[in-house]
Amino acid sequence: MTIILDNYTLPEKGPVTVAVSFEIKVTAEEARHIVNRWLLNEVSYLLGADPPTLVVGEQVVWRVPAWIGFPSTGRVGVIGTVDVDVKTGELLNPLERKAAIERYLEEEVKPWLPKDRQPVSKLPPEYLARLDPPPKLQP
């Protein structure tokens, strides 16, 4: 497990004392599942979560990396992080994190996507279902 000491000033050399006490009630894997579910439900089905890092600062959190993948290329890379409180399992600032991820996707990912694969806004008539007369349903 990786631990990051956030907001601690450390000397280049010499003794270091870090006196922090906290209780982990949400495991790293639980935090990953929480973020994975949130990414899929609230942001995009193309996103996933990696194993988190424990960050000890003003608040102790699991910092979970979010990645994006495409059906044609597979997993591309990390596009942001989401913090989860180690005591409650609550996502910290989910609206801000969602906006940051969407902004990154718009500015950094979208420009290198193929231009010829635009979504179809209207299907041609030959692809529409013909329901005149409607099918008979079995009881």
pTM across the whole model: 0.74
- Residues in the chain with pLDDT < 70? 114, 116-121, 131-132, 134-135, 137, 139
Token pair, residue 74, equals 């597979």
Nearest to 83 by CA among 38, 40, 23, 44: 38
Dist. CA 77–CA 68, nearest whole Å:
6
Residue with tokens 């005591």: 87
Q: What's the confidence (pLDDT) of residue 58?
A: 86
**Residue ranges per structural domain of the chain:** 25-112
CA–CA distance from 103 to each of 5, 45, 55, 61 (Å)?
A: 28, 17, 24, 23
Q: For 85-137, where are the alpha helices, taking DSSP H only?
A: 94-104
> Which has the closest alpha carbon to 4: 56, 52, 50?
56
User: Each residue of 83-95: pLDDT tens digit?
Assistant: 999 999 999 999 9
Helices (H), the chain: 28-38, 94-104
Q: Model confidence over 16-35: pLDDT tens digits?
A: 877 788 999 999 999 999 99
Q: Given this model, what pLDDT does residue 120 score?
A: 58
What residues have CB less than 8 Å from 93, skipping those under 6 apart? 83
